[in-house]
Amino acid sequence: MANHLKFLLEASMKRFKNKIRILLFGLLGLIPFTLAFSQTVIDGGNWKTGVPMNSLRASPTVASVGGKIYAIGGMFDWDQAVQNIEVFDPATKKWTVKSAMLKPRWGHAGAVLNGKIYTIGGYFGSGHYASEVEEYDPINDTWRVRASLPVAQVQPAAAALNGKIYAFGGNTDRQGLYEYDPATNKWTPRAHMIERRYGHAGVALGGKLYAIGGYDHIDDAMMATVEEYNPATNTWRMVAPMSIPRIFHAATVFNRKIYVFGGSPTLDLRGQLSNVEEYDPVTNTWRTMASMPTARSGIAATLLNNKIHVIGGATNGGEFLNNVEEFQPPQDCSLTPPILSALISSKTGIQSARQWTITLTSTCFADEAQIDGLTLTQTFGAACTPIITSPLKFPLKVGDIEAPGEASGVVTINFTGCANNARFGAKVTYSTNDGTVHGSKTLNNQYR
């Protein structure tokens, strides 16, 4: 038992917001100039460090309910299960402890249904595999016991779909699928998976369930395979596999795609993965995303405010983590070409301050592009020395321009040594990650 338990334990910038306004100021005479902007959608997504939990947790479950993240159970040391839960409030950027589960556990599955969080199966410690199910009410901060799984399972997967909860796979009934109806508080067996697996990940998307990766102990095989379950026909089918086999990884859904994070490609948990893959069920294809900053397995993931939070886990050296890393997936969208407007002084014959407001509107849900720099070059006219000054430093870092929904920064352009009515043209280039220019617009500003 000790060896088996050990096996189970070891086998367990800145960017644009929706709108960004950059204000350009100049001392101008007769100044026609072109502003050209470049922008990009970061194809592999973006990562940033989130607020760490108070407790170390490997193999927890996490869930998003009511605009908050709940981290439940897990291990803080070998065979030492966590009983408490923590909730993260993005408004305060703090984790707080809530009522503990009735029993400590790790390697359990979790699902959210009707605003309640369910913890399913797992491992209590001391050789006790769990079939027990608990239901948490976030509003009242209370737990209650629900009907147990028909069989004890460590490292199953679970997901809510069509008003039911489905638990599938695990270390005992590795192909089993069970459907829970909260109205009757009963579990019903459904069609077995095609392959045996545990330590896999599971999600619901588009009316289907997906069982992703894991380990088959009979064939001693790490798995990259993926199965799709259709509850309408009670049948499973194989879909495209991941590029890397993995166990104790995390998966969640965003924008009609499945994202898989980390895990380990081997049973001895050597070579923990930072790899991230995205699955598109429409095309039945996978592609690689930007890697996690921290390679780890025994992790959990949930979506909040259009970002995926990857939580907890353990490293190659067996270090247990309280890490939280936030992933902004690519959203197959773009920033519109800039809408430029000029506020022109009514004075004539003298140099006057000019102010331009440049608005870029994103079709994305959240920040996508990172500003690398801004340059200005003269295109024609008498020799002048345009100077760019700014409180911003390029490339911009996270926090340089950041606010909910929109943000602004000020860039000042001074045209020195230019005659009052001199003809002068300038091109301002606003560059982002790949330098691709998506749109430009010419303004002819003159005294009136």
49-to-292, 294, 311 alpha-carbon distances in Å: 10, 10, 11
Widest CA span in the chain: 91
Tell me whether strands 437-445 and 31-38 are parallel, antiparallel or unpaired: antiparallel
Please tell me the predicted confidence (pLDDT) of residue 383: 57
* pLDDT tens digits, 329-344: 876 544 443 433 333 3
Predicted local confidence at residue 378, as pLDDT = 52
How much of the chain exceeds pLDDT 90, in percent? 58
Q: What does the pLDDT average to over 305-314? A: 94
pLDDT of 31 strictly over 90: no
CA 393 to chain centre: 27
Higher pLDDT, 360 or 65: 65
Give CA–CA dist 276/104, Å, rounded. 30
User: What per-residue confidence (pLDDT) applies to 131?
Assistant: 98
Tell me what the pLDDT averaged over the chain comes to.
Answer: 76
| pLDDT for the residue numbered 52 | 98
User: Where is pLDDT greater, at 81 or 421?
Assistant: 81
* Mean of pLDDT values over 410-420: 51
| Confidence (pLDDT) at 221 | 94
Q: Does the pLDDT value for residue 445 go beyond 50?
A: no
Strand partners, 98: 85
Judged against a pLDDT cut of 70, whether residue 315 lies above it is answered with yes
Map out the domains of the chain as residue ranges. Answer: 19-41+333-445, 45-328
Q: Is the pLDDT of residue 113 over 50?
A: yes
Does residue 188 have a pLDDT over 60? yes
Q: Please give the structure tokens belonging to residue 146.
A: 């629900």
Percent of the chain with pLDDT over 70: 64
**Are the CB atoms for 306 and 365 separated by under 8 Å?**
yes
**CATH number, domain 45-328:** 2.120.10.80
Of 181, 239, 182, whose CA–CA distance to 213 is shortest?
239
Quote the pTM value: 0.71
Helix (H) or strand (E) holding 308: strand 307-311
Q: Distance between alpha carbon 215 and the CA centroid of its chain, in Å?
A: 25
424-432 and 324-328 strand pairing: unpaired
SS3 label, residue 318: coil
| pLDDT score for 149 | 98
Question: Reduced to 3 states, what is the DSSP secondary structure of residue 8?
Answer: helix
What CA–CA distance (Å, rounded) separates 24 from 196?
A: 62
Highest-confidence segment of 288-297, 349-358, 392-401: 288-297
Q: What is the mean pLDDT of residues 184-196?
A: 98
pLDDT tens, position by position, 75-104: 999 889 999 999 999 999 999 999 999 999
Instruction: Quick: pLDDT tens for 125-183.
Output: 888 999 999 999 999 999 999 999 999 999 999 999 999 999 999 999 999 999 999 99
- Per-residue pLDDT at 311: 99
Confidence grade of residue 387 (pLDDT, cut at 50, 70, 90): low
Q: Is residue 442 over pLDDT 50?
A: no
pLDDT for the residue 356:
39
Beta-strand pair 19-28/406-416: parallel
Determine the pLDDT at residue 389. 53
Q: What is the pLDDT of residues 242-282, one digit of tens each?
A: 999 999 999 999 989 999 999 999 987 778 999 999 999 99
CA dist., res. 163 & res. 146, Å (int): 16
Structure-block tokens of residue 314: 């353990």
Q: Which amino acid is at 11?
A: A
From 4-13, 75-84, 90-99, 283-292, the region with the lowest mean pLDDT = 4-13
pLDDT band at 18 (very low <50, low <70, confident <90, very high): very low
Is the pLDDT reported for residue 23 higher than 80? Answer: no
Q: Strand 324-328 vs strand 201-205: parallel, antiparallel, or unpaired?
A: unpaired
At 361 the pLDDT is 39
Q: How do residues 116-134 score in pLDDT, each as one tens digit?
A: 999 999 999 888 999 999 9
64 pLDDT exceeds 80?
yes
Please return the burial class of 297, using the count of CB atoms within 10 Å of its CB with bins 0-12, 13-18 and 19+.
buried
Range of weakest confidence among 36-45, 223-232, 269-278? 36-45
